[in-house]
Structure 1
Amino acid sequence: MSNIVKVALVQQNNTVDCQQNIDRSTQGIRAAASEGADLVVLQELHRSLYFCQSEDVSLFDLAETIPGPSTDYFGQLAKELGVVIVTSLFEKRAAGIYHNTAVVLDKDGSIAGKYRKMHIPDDPGFYEKFYFTPGDLGFEVIETSIGKLGILVCWDQWFPEAARLMAMAGAELLIYPTAIGWDPRDDAAEQQRQLEAWKIVQRSHAVANGVPVISCNRVGHESDSSGSSAGIDFWGNSFICGPQGELLVCASESDGEILIANIDMEKSEQVRRIWPYLRDRRVDHYQDLTKIYRD
């Protein structure tokens, strides 16, 4: 017997008005629930603009505690609608200690678990090291009423080690709340190369681990508040793929959308029997993976 879970993601464009952004997320969650979704994934830092384009100490005021206002709100929504919700929040852990944290609210409204982003970028337009302390919770799955979720966040999606460790911990889905886009000054060919690389690397995690992947990205242009750059054109293209990397649904690069797909939770078992990558790993010869580089 198959075990079908209906999963959804909400791709949205954001404004400076945090309440408006929350309202848009809420509308997306309600729409997905009305279509029978069991799980709804929101994009990275969905409550605000992507504030990491510049370094500004006043923007730490956007952070909140966990539990806190957002987990209370989305927990109540999860309970009302009977869905699992994956949020992405700017966590204030203590004075001077902040994290980029994904929180999973189960169908009963409780906090099933959280994941603190492990890989923190520091690139032009993505100055996350200024805001976020690297995560300290490791790569642990979050058990929910619909299964074991492997939550990772944005920059984590480029690292095969993170996906592998989640799969080794028993993740039945890999989920990536994301905020990634183009520098408007890049030419079309470079933009296409970046987009294709982003899709390929995540679909490869599905293939290499035999698990479905849900990737939820932002969309739309967001200006750099410092005026030092041309801002970011978030490229959307959120998608859901199966355990062989097969695309089930994919969003546009320009519009807010709600994507919904049925995931057969039993299919990973079938795929892993045919492609037993985990069985054939040579862990007795992988010691050098713990080194930064082999000189």
Structure 2
Amino acid sequence: MPQPAEAISPVRIAVVQFDPQAGLENCKHNLSHTLHLAKEAAENGANLIVLPELANTGYAFKTRKEAFDHAEFVPNGPSVEAWLEFARQHQVYLAAGLAERDGMKIYDTAVLVGPEGFIGRYRKTHLWNQEKLWFSTGDLGLPVFDTPIGRIGLLICWDIWFPEAPRLLALQGADIICSLNNWVWTPPPLFDATGKCMASYLTITAAHVNNVFIAAANCIGTDRGERFLGCSLIAGTNGWPISEVASAEEQTILYADVDLTCARTAPIWNSLNDLPRDRRTDLYGAMLGYDMHPPLAR
């Protein structure tokens, strides 16, 4: 469908790729570094900034007790308060990952903050490997948050391997999905000839089949021997990256200028192809539970 000549909801997205380290002795530096890099992004015009999963703590916990000791209350913990103050000061929206404490439970959580304050949280639905030993599985569903710049959904890392997760966010009207990640090295081959990893292609595919922007921030380097893939990217509503795909090794900030709400017409490819309309929920909706999430009226 033809797009308006002038952007209706212009947004500059920034995806931040860096190397937080586990250990209580590193938390202060991790948090400070997130603010330093987010400030660079804001000074370069970004008004939606995406940080990786567990950006303030690092990833490689040794025991559940250590994971618990790294965890903070949301939204009243020091990291969220620092991100909140940053968002207010710079008039930006920020998605960031942390370990959240709720009573005796801990969650792998993504928070969304903005100039108006705390917007919401998402608790990781699909836990990877030893995460199952530290964290409880998410219990808040797959929320989409309305903001002045558009509708924002959140996913965390392993979630992108499950097609239902981005699909349910898209059905609820997400204009963009912020994907906060610690994509780790798995058995080879890890990269193709273009330098992309499988997670890059899963992100591209999820953006394409749901016609939604996806901004994916990953870590780099190693954390207590756990190695990360990098390959952060920003995918357009047609799936193709609208930024470069980041390297596997370098700290970087990726930028993309988009008209965020154009995602709302992206599923309509032509007069005969409308992605939400073409879904055969009469066949598979009840079995998969999709009839509980009807497409947003457009």
Other structure's SS at 1:23 match: helix
**Corresponding residue number in structure 2 for 1:177:** 180
Contact 2:60 2:223 in 1 (8 A): no
CA separation in 2, counterparts of 1:105 and 1:6?
16
- 1:266 and 1:144, CA in 2 relative to 1: closer, same or farther beyond 3 A? closer
2:206 aligned with 1:200 = no
**Corresponding residue number in structure 1 for 2:15:** 9
Provide the aligned C-alpha RMSD in A: 1.7
Out of 207, 217, 226, the residue aligned to residue 232 of structure 1 is 226
Out of 111, 114, 122, the residue aligned to residue 118 of structure 2 is 111
**Corresponding residue number in structure 1 for 2:136:** 133
Other structure's SS at 1:163 match: helix
Out of 81, 84, 91, the residue aligned to residue 93 of structure 2 is 84
Other structure's SS at 2:267 match: helix
Other structure's SS at 1:247 match: coil
Out of 40, 50, 54, the residue aligned to residue 31 of structure 1 is 40
2:49 aligned with 1:40 = yes
Shift of 1:55: 3.5
Amino acid at match of 2:14: A
Shift of 1:75: 0.4
Aligned length: 272
**Corresponding residue number in structure 1 for 2:296:** none
CA separation in 1, counterparts of 2:262 and 2:174?
13
**Percent identical across equivalent pairs?**
32
Out of 239, 244, 268, the residue aligned to residue 238 of structure 2 is 244
TM-score normalised to structure 1 length:
0.87
Shift of 1:132: 1.0
Structure 1 unaligned segments of length 5 or more: list them: 224-230, 291-295
Contact 1:235 1:253 in 2 (8 A): yes
Contact 2:19 2:219 in 1 (8 A): yes
CA separation in 2, counterparts of 1:214 and 1:41?
7
CA separation in 1, counterparts of 2:79 and 2:216?
21
Contact 2:149 2:260 in 1 (8 A): no
CA separation in 2, counterparts of 1:92 and 1:18?
16
Contact 1:106 1:145 in 2 (8 A): no
CA separation in 2, counterparts of 1:131 and 1:273?
42
Shift of 1:195: 5.3
